[in-house]
Structure 1
């Protein structure tokens, strides 16, 4: 589904990623873990075209997307839900969701996708005509993920979906991701500070430190590696 080969990216003179190589299997949930400043967010931004790689290649669905514009990458089937969700508080829940499918021409399919998202996240249904700014933190995160799903992506990039949420709300969102993978075959690349939570629903994980991959293994193996957990994952 996704191959990243030797990717390097920087902000000016500050190198955020250094020769990162990893693969994401179709229909899997893959966790990207590491401390603040490890390069996790930059990795997602580079995949979606918001940051340009200075070296290396990114291949999605068998196509080289390294130099493609962000809108073209989205149309290929990559949806990016940034840290903090990025919903527009002045717009209603329904208007925010519609933004996720603006480029799709099939009106009936857009309506069907709306219904599926509201079924997936029941708290949003009675709030669909309310401004997004009136939602709780958990509801905003549901809205952000729902907006990403409106375009029917094949690959969902999720950046810190549990950030700032109560443990119960975070667990519900993780459960939704697991159900999506099981029911629709959606492939998810998940960036999370809460490594234990992320690995509990993931098939595989990669650990970044200072922009480099320092570990890659199955989720179970990473959870069982006490030395790695203490050194890089904080539990």
Structure 2
């Protein structure tokens, strides 16, 4: 018997007023998988993540996390169920220190000792953050801020991590470091990742499966290796 997907999306539709942003999107992500969501600007990628995380209300359809329907739950309940969203740009609070930003990610977890332990675990994952633990986030480089945003999300011990454009504005070397970190987290913590990424080639190089959105609809779904090899699809939807 096949294992149940940890994340299932069934006929998800949503819009902004009269504009339809998602139109009947269906997809599933296997436990421990890394999935790419690709498409041109305006295809609906960010709206999809916002709807999955509860920041945008779905007009119709369902989101199931490990079989539990979380579609209508508020965003904070999604986090408690194990689904955490890192938005485009990361959204770190630059006036707070690195450690203070991290602690925000684990506020809802009870027990000061548990939060301190998790903070230490996250700093161990990101050595540059440990070196700057007491400094304001405003002093960090772009790559370090993205590490901090990812680390803050990990404070909640997610089962599924939604990542929106983590490489935006970063140098290629830093982008590679972020992508390798995702592979490490999958291997060591069995983390499932849904990755929205404008750099389709980079995303497909580390993911297992990919979904291509166009005008709010899934136009292709296949293994990452097959999507990379499909010249017609790449030229039509991904621009390389």
Q: Same fold (TM over 0.5)?
A: yes
Q: CA deviation at 1:108?
A: 2.3
Q: Which of 163, 166, 170 pairs up with 1:161?
A: 166
In structure 2, what is the equivalent of residue 100 of structure 1?
Answer: 105
Aligned partner of residue 26 in structure 1, secondary structure = coil
CA displacement 1:44-100 (0-9 Å, x = unmatched)? 000110101101111112110110011111100011000000000000000000000
TM-score of the aligned structures, taking structure 2 as reference length: 0.97
Number of residue-to-residue matches in the alignment: 235
| Aligned positions of 1:64-79 closer than 5 A | 64-79=69-84
In structure 2, what is the equivalent of residue 179 of structure 1?
Answer: 184
Aligned partner of residue 35 in structure 1, secondary structure = coil
In structure 1, what is the equivalent of residue 157 of structure 2?
Answer: 152
Partners in 1 of 2:113 and 2:177 — Cα distance? 29
**Alignment RMSD:** 0.7
Q: CA deviation at 1:109?
A: 2.1
Unaligned runs of 5+ in 1: none
In structure 1, what is the equivalent of residue 67 of structure 2?
Answer: 62
Partners in 1 of 2:170 and 2:152 — Cα distance? 19
Unaligned runs of 5+ in 2: 1-5
- 4+ residue stretches of structure 1 with deviation over 6 A? none
| Aligned positions of 1:1-235 closer than 5 A | 1-235=6-240
CA displacement 1:183-205 (0-9 Å, x = unmatched)? 11100000000001111110000
Partners in 1 of 2:176 and 2:206 — Cα distance? 10
